[in-house]
Amino acid sequence: MAMQIVADICTACGDCEPVCPTTAIIPKKGVFFIKADICTECEGDHDTPQCLDACMEDGCIIPADE
């Protein structure tokens, strides 16, 4: 599974990009995007997805299946 960023909520602050251990988060069209094929939800590296801890906007980063 992977995480995804809701473009309408993303403020493009960039706080999530440097904390991603797989470099799955990239800038795209003025906001950020998570490459689902690379995102591991930080399994094996951390207990929780690090982007969730870094993001200050509620509901901006969600599991990709929602």
Question: pLDDT for 5-55, tens place per residue?
Answer: 999 999 999 999 999 999 999 999 999 999 999 999 999 999 999 999 999
Label residue 65 by pLDDT band (50, 70, 90): confident
**What does CATH list as the number for 3-63?**
3.30.70.20
The model carries a pTM of: 0.91
Report the pLDDT value the prediction gives residue 1, as an integer from 0 to 100.
85
So where are the chain's domains? 3-63
- Sequence-separated (6 or more) residues with CB below 8 Å from residue 29: 7
**Cα angle: 22, vertex 24, 29; to 5 degrees:** 160
Report the pLDDT value the prediction gives residue 66, as an integer from 0 to 100.
59
Label residue 61 by pLDDT band (50, 70, 90): very high
